[in-house]
Structure 1
């Protein structure tokens, strides 16, 4: 539910590009620190990668590559620091993660542009456009805001630029995307889960219904919250990536509405979960989960950039009439992760303060930018934190009804709905204006 999933497998992948490397500074803002690390970029439209290993998909096959072909542009991708092979430190210890910030990532981009200008002998009249989706879409917008001299414009797809401590709206949009009847079945399922958690017999039944990796006892509140969040994830992912992954809104709701007279709602929700996990058991144990997040090797799973220090985006069930249970996923579920994984200095108060400071510095819903286009899909829950109305004559919102997270970024297909085709044409129009 956080960030972009891996790029899709294209119908006709054009080529596999070799990795290219340049020496990037570990800390751009400490002149006495001369350390560098190798950061890789693809082979001037620049796709900023987010919280995953960089690929050549967007530079060779996705919508940006198609735009680059029409504009006769060089297509480049830059892997985000700390992801894939671009890790600047020997491990992912708490102390070493202090370089994982938006400010450092933006400066990485500026340094890379300067480097490639020199390597390719580009002239001062060469114009750059940054692209990105989800968190990387926000980076693309923020880069245009903070380094307007380096880039002529940006395409910020599905970009949540309003940083939010408690992101209650995510599941609100998810409920709307699922529709009233489907959401009512989900509501009944979570009511039944609440009832079953109150008894040992009910916990045993939950263990069996949801194929839990270890028996549920219902007394460990952290593990209960972790279980409930994991049960919500498939429903959120179905809306976020509707039409891009097999478990779509339509499929989820078909499963929740099938055999209503035979199966209980909780049983139908269990079927959705089984489909999402491909039959694997659901591991919800809090201690095990926290220990995984505390791993510090370079290959360890890395939490999303800035979760506990800048951006938060804590998805909760805090809306008044949440169909997932009002207290199923409280904001404490997230702040406790920050404390348990990174230390006692990460508190709700420190995280709120960091979020407020970030919004003050970057503008939230109203970043101080020109020449940015913000495409968003109506089904995507993340659109609630993006720019949905034009900010000025050169900063435009493109709202795409019926589409999901980053739909405009993938390879065009003959089956694309007209609204998506029209959105890409609107983006292309803005690119013409940016490059005048």
Structure 2
């Protein structure tokens, strides 16, 4: 869930269940509480004008209710733009668009060079773009219009209208996105090639569907990140789950655990503590940036290494669970200002509620955890997942829909024949990279892969402390985008 993936957890586990959907990915994306408590509720100061576009509720039918209008939020910055110049559009993810805009400085960094107009469009049903009101019940009747196809149509209609209103219909449009937004950017280029000339899809796991990649790949990648930092660190975290289970079997287990984990309120379930730990390790691996950042939470540079230093710094004989808790506290309390931790009080400061519906309908990204992982083993249980979706929303997931609608199987052969102008960028320290496109498909559908990159690190604003490999990656992206735009204007002149 840029999450975000930017990625937000939807965790369907019953408190009493021992089998669970592991946190870390889109289809479970557990406790909203984990992320949001570590983020400021204040809106970032952004150099954008906020606007609202009247959007139809349903683009794919002609029933009277389809014409209900909602106001879709978008941000715009024309400081660098000249009429006829390119338009850079961010295809919004599962959350408040201000959050994504404040963490996508790359577009603002390169806008002066291209004299580009910047537009960030909020995804329907997230942030302020709520077609049926924020207080509407979260049921199939109200959420039935929340899906990626409707969102892409929203973007297409808004972009066309904007260009017309600006009297700049010949302006080339390049779409950008990270995580789920990156998936949308790639799919937008494939579905609406007449509207955008190219897409930069960063950390876009478009192959994480329908068993295209191994089900254990996400958690295997996280374990490898921690192993690269410290083999001992992985061993300690792996052993901590048994200690956690042992504490829970004690008569006073939950009160003892609440005290050990400094919870604000007494824990009702061992699984709350387990999810809290797992979420910290998952998100830290995702945002293992080379510089200090404040995306999911305020963290230092290379936070995985810092976590493992905490683990390895304990004296011999220390409890594995104590070490794991101390490491996780880096994620939740790097500033050291928190006196206690909320583990069972969900909050949603970034308007992320809604991913549960998408995960239960089209965004079915199955995952398992191998015995070799540092996390508790887990075998994907689709039947249980389906039952939970039926219980929560009254709908069954459609696990094959995304690959039917957008493709994914044999992607190299398929896209080589008809696709063009897509950059798939991935950093191999990002666990989502295993579901991304990691090899060039053609001369114009290219994969930029970095060994140390984390979740859509290339889309973040440049800093003086950026490593050379990140600078080089961004330079490559700028060069490719420049080629797209140059060719577009050349073709336009030849048509005149």
**TM-score, scaled relative to structure 2:** 0.75
Question: What per-residue deviation string (whole Å, max 9, x for no partner) do you get for residues 258-302 of structure 1?
Answer: 114152110111223344333433434xxx76xx89xxxx97843
1:101 matched to which residue of 2?
Answer: 147
Counterpart of 2:93 in structure 1 is: 50
- Pair 1:39-2:72 in alignment: yes
Q: 1:165: Cα distance to partner?
A: 6.5
Q: 1:55 to 1:213 in 2, by over 3 A?
A: closer
The alignment partner of 1:70 has SS state of helix
2:218 is aligned with 1:170: yes
Task: Tell me: CA distance 1:142–1:305, structure 2 relative to 1, closer, same or farther (3 Å).
Answer: farther
Q: Take 2:393 and 2:131, find their aligned partners in 1: how far apart are those partners?
A: 19
Contact kept? 2:152, 2:184, Cα under 8 Å: yes
> Which residue of structure 2 aligns with residue 67 of structure 1?
110
Unaligned ranges ≥5, structure 1: 218-222
TM-score of the two chains, using structure 1 as the length reference: 0.85
Q: List runs of 5+ in structure 2 lacking aligned partners.
A: 7-35, 77-86, 488-496
Q: 1:122 to 1:103 in 2, by over 3 A?
A: same
Query: Per the alignment, do residues 358 and 410 of structure 1 end up closer, same or farther by CA in structure 2, a change over 3 Å counting?
Result: same
* Counterpart contact for 1:48–1:136, Cα < 8 Å: yes
Corresponding residue for residue 220 of structure 1: none
Are residues 56 and 48 of structure 1, via their aligned partners in 2, closer, same or farther at CA, if it must alter by over 3 Å?
same
Show the counterpart of 1:28.
59
Please state whether the residue corresponding to 2:361 is helix, strand or coil.
helix
The reply on whether 1:153 has 2:237 as its aligned counterpart is no
Matched, 1:355 2:399: yes
Of 302-311 and 165-174, deviating more is 165-174
Equivalence for 2:287 = 241
TM-fit CA distance, 1:393: 1.2
Question: Partners of 1:207 and 1:15 in 2: how far apart?
Answer: 39
Aligned to 1:209: 260
Which of residues 244, 266, 276 in structure 1 aligns to 2:321? 266
CA distance in 1, matches of 2:351, 2:402: 29
CA distance in 2, matches of 1:363, 1:314: 17
How far, CA to CA, are the matches of 1:330 and 1:231 in structure 2? 22
Alpha-carbon contact 1:241-1:405 (below 8 Å) kept: yes
Give 1:376's match in structure 2, choosing from 418, 426, 430.
Answer: 426
Secondary structure of 1:85's counterpart equals coil
- Whether contact under 8 Å (2:210, 2:403) holds in the other structure is no
Cα shift at 1:211? 3.0
- SS of the equivalent of 2:377 reads coil
- Give the SS at the match of 2:400: helix
Distance between the aligned counterparts of 2:195 and 2:226, measured in 1?
42
Relative to 1, partners in 2 of residues 1:328 and 1:195: Cα closer, same or farther, differing over 3 Å? farther
Is 1:133 the counterpart of 2:134 in the alignment?
Answer: no
Kept in 2: contact 1:63–1:408 (CA 8 A): yes
Q: CA deviation at 1:23?
A: 1.0
Supply the RMSD in Å over aligned alpha carbons. 3.0
Q: Of 251, 254, 279, which residue of structure 1 is paired with 2:309?
A: 254
TM superposition shift of 1:126: 2.0
- 1:112 match: 158
Residue of 181, 185, 196 corresponding to 2:232: 181
1:41 Cα deviation from its structure 2 partner: 1.8
2:126 is matched with 83
Of the candidates 200, 219, 236, which is equivalent to residue 251 of structure 2?
200
Query: Cα distance, 1:423 vs. partner?
Result: 0.4
Partner of 1:388: 438
Aligned residue-pair number: 409
Matching residue within 242, 256, 264 for 1:191? 242
Q: Matched residue of 1:37: which SS?
A: strand
CA–CA distance in structure 1, aligned partners of residues 237 and 49 of structure 2: 47
Q: Please give the alpha-carbon distance, in whole angstroms, between the structure 2 residues aligned to 1:226 and 1:98.
A: 30
Q: Pick closer, same or farther for the CA change 1:255–1:59 going to 2, 3 Å.
A: closer
